[in-house]
Amino acid sequence: MTKEKNYHFDSKCVHAGIGDYEFGPVVPPIYQTSTFKFENAKHGADLFKGEREGYIYTRMLNPTVQAMENAIAELEGGYKGLGCASGMAAISTTFFALLKSGDHLVCSKAVYGPTNTLINTIISQLGITATFVEASQTEEVKSAIKKNTKVIYIETPGNPTLSIADLTAISEIAHENNAKLVVDNTFMSPALQQPIQFGTDVVLHSMTKFLNGHADVVAGIIVVKDEETYKHFRKTLNQLGGVIDPFNAFLVHRGIKTLSLRMQRHCENALVIAEWLEQHPKIEWVRYPGLKNDPDYMIGQKQHTGPGGMITFELKGGFEAGEKVMNSVKFCQLAVSLGGVESLIQHPASMTHLTMGKEARSIAGITEGLVRLSVGIEKVDDIIADLKQAFDQID
């Protein structure tokens, strides 16, 4: 498949990254080995010098991992991918690759809680400063730029507020200022949004979510656009060591075969649920990029082909009502994470965004009663029936 790049996206999901292997298997074998034999001393030396292509040691490169990396790079329209042990490993490796002491980072306010915490702790202890902005307001991004800004880091839609940033406009700001735009594309997946098309330099994912799609793997990926950046990132990842293992790479590669189909169903279900929530008397507000009255609807239309499977909403009864709903759901499961085939519900203020602290949450628009729903691919009627009975428990 890597030989022929002109197939439709849906077909690429099934075939991308798959090559020819001994005995003719139709899926890449799992090369569950930590190391690879050299033919002789010269072969080993040539591999280390980079004068011959081949495998040395799984932390450096592994064929099963590489097949998955090639697949996702192809789906994102990038040059190559780097499989990481988790989404956080992809994020920290990217920061280490692009930032050094004295640099400045602009980051969207609505990011996964531990990303915010990483920036405010380990990254800031290294002498790297950061400004958090409401990235849906392009002017805020522009005003935050300093002479030493090297990276603009965006999640769009942001976790959990689902605010959307204008990738084309922000990539222009980044490039006018010699900075790189890094986009966490976890919430959309390449099936719905390919940030490289809009000028993004580095795309990363928690593959734990939609890419794998089956809630049975923790993994991440970084996709870059050119060979020079790839070599630099590969060296950084090899030194930091947060690589994916072959079995998880195999599972993700298997998962992406159904990515297009799954995303289609996630979007269909989520729109029906968001519209149902919107008219429900116990709901204060709903955010879903597919709702025509969503404040970021128009920006979203420019850069994604579907609004995704994530919904956030606030119950009129605030925190207590949210807690009651979460204790009352029977079909949707009360769990963090997202992007799997099963519907999951959670409360960011006490769970995924707890470590940020109340003040940072309030700045990021994460209200105390905000509930996040990761809409699965089940029959939508079952999800709505469950929410309905849970809402009936609230006074």
Measured CA to CA, the distance from residue 356 to residue 120 in angstroms comes to: 9
Which residues make up the interface to ligand LCS (CB under 6 A)? 86-88, 112, 155, 159, 184, 186-187, 206, 208, 218, 220, 336-338, 352
Measured CA to CA, the distance from residue 15 to residue 22 in angstroms comes to: 18
Measured CA to CA, the distance from residue 99 to residue 153 in angstroms comes to: 12
- Whether 59 is a known active-site residue: answer yes
Strand partners, 181: 152
Q: Between 63 and 213, name the residue whose CB sits nearer to ligand LCS.
A: 213
Q: Between 326 and 336, name the residue whose CB sits nearer to ligand LCS.
A: 336
Q: Identify the active-site residue in 166, 184, 245, 294.
A: 184
Q: Identify the active-site residue in 7, 21, 55, 59.
A: 59
> Other C-beta atoms within 10 Å of 107: how many?
24
Q: Between 186 and 367, name the residue whose CB sits nearer to ligand LCS.
A: 186
The CB-of-146 to ligand LCS minimum distance in angstroms stands at 25
Q: Identify the active-site residue in 12, 80, 109, 209.
A: 209
Omega prior to 157 cis, within 30 of 0: yes
The CB-of-208 to ligand LCS minimum distance in angstroms stands at 4
Strand partners, 203: 183, 223
The CB-of-243 to ligand LCS minimum distance in angstroms stands at 14
Q: Between 63 and 340, name the residue whose CB sits nearer to ligand LCS.
A: 340
- Strand, coil or helix: 298: helix
Q: Between 210 and 233, name the residue whose CB sits nearer to ligand LCS.
A: 210
Q: Between 78 and 158, name the residue whose CB sits nearer to ligand LCS.
A: 158
Neighbouring residues of 351: CB distance < 8 A, sequence distance ≥ 6: 336
- Whether 265 is a known active-site residue: answer no
The CB-of-299 to ligand LCS minimum distance in angstroms stands at 18
The CB-of-364 to ligand LCS minimum distance in angstroms stands at 13
The CB-of-53 to ligand LCS minimum distance in angstroms stands at 30
- Residue recorded with tokens 């959990």: 160
Report which residue's Cβ sits closest to ligand LCS: 87
- Whether 21 is a known active-site residue: answer no
Amino acid at position 149, single letter: T
Determine which helix (DSSP H) or strand (DSSP E) holds 358, and give its type and residue range: helix 358-363
Q: Between 18 and 85, name the residue whose CB sits nearer to ligand LCS.
A: 85
For the record, the structure tokens of 303 come out as 């850069």
CA distances from 297 to 46, 127, 294, 303 (A): 54, 37, 5, 10
Q: Are 326 and 346 in contact (CB under 8 A)?
A: yes
Angular region, 266: left φ>0, alpha ψ -120 to 50, beta rest: alpha
Q: Identify the active-site residue in 103, 109, 112, 234.
A: 112
The CB-of-165 to ligand LCS minimum distance in angstroms stands at 13
- Whether 184 is a known active-site residue: answer yes
DSSP string, 204-255: EEETTTTTT-SS----EEEEESSHHHHHHHHHHHHHH--BPPHHHHHHHHHH
Q: What amino acid positions are annotated as catalytic residues?
A: 59, 112, 184, 209
